[in-house]
Structure 1
């Protein structure tokens, strides 16, 4: 398994290097899809990097929840840590996110043109079916985590826990059957290094609960830094400009 993973990393690295060589001096003429593909290949080929981020939720009634802050570290292409300020387990792999966007998106466009000589900014619309399936999986995983913490049969409240879990699962199934999810990403890429510097995700949900329509939005902001243990000038500048909610 390790040998196969090492071979896949080498292949991605070679593809990335050939892409750079083939593009040469035509960086300004790359299509939005090419920028997205190169940023994914660049991050996949990077041995180590750090990222920090936050995720917040807002309802249609204006209710906002406390943002969940997280930070991760990748070494030898493996995600070693992902720490959050909450009790819930969070799964977020930046390479997988870019890979999915690269393979299945509805639209990719450049929003800052050639005005910025250091970075290019993409606006990416994720495929609606992929977005819904992704969030369905995440929500079910969160409920499964509650089930994993169920008291044993000889403990108090075991029966009440089982009943509440079954009720919650039924409610979730009903909500997911009506849920629609629309996701957009804003991706900032270093023009020279072809690496992602910042990623913002906004997902809007619409669903029915107890026969009433509801909507909410989730915002995730991520910064990348310390590529292969060093901060580039562009990354340092982005780090100063970006603020987290």
Structure 2
């Protein structure tokens, strides 16, 4: 399989250069162009569109906030003319509306800044593997394989979780704590993830039992004693 051609949309020159360097280290990807604004991306894509309906781009690495709009604007315009390639969001934007928009535009990964090369590499390697499977010929009659390709989780795959908890919400809680700049309470986690405080505590206690999260008392708050949670240092 040929290298996947990548368009980077990132307004910060230093960050954009880091992505290009990261791409050089991950097999199967080739950097095509870096756009630092909506206008620059549209000029590049307009020139490419005159050559090929696919823009000559297989993957868009997209930041959200740009000086003259958003990465979502760029991808939306690409989709409007029939672009069927993949989108990976790499951004500091964590509001639900933006995340929904990215997903609705077909983003297959959403990586929150700041992140490490290991985070970057693991996301791209998983995406590359999935892309290889999608490009194969023939038919797939095994439901389990189709579920895996679509990212579905079966009941058996989630059987290690306590009843009522889901892998997707657990991952969201863990991701939030990983990038938090201060310890968070169950109420704060619940509000950020969109679940109740009681449900949030169940996820946090499960992570605590696994050793992924550390719990400690929160001092200086009126009323009932409260706990706060931090990701366990490796």
TM-score normalised according to structure 1 size:
0.25
Of Structure 1 and Structure 2, the greater strand share is in 1
Of Structure 1 and Structure 2, the greater helix share is in 2
Higher relative contact order (CA 8 A, sep 6+): 1
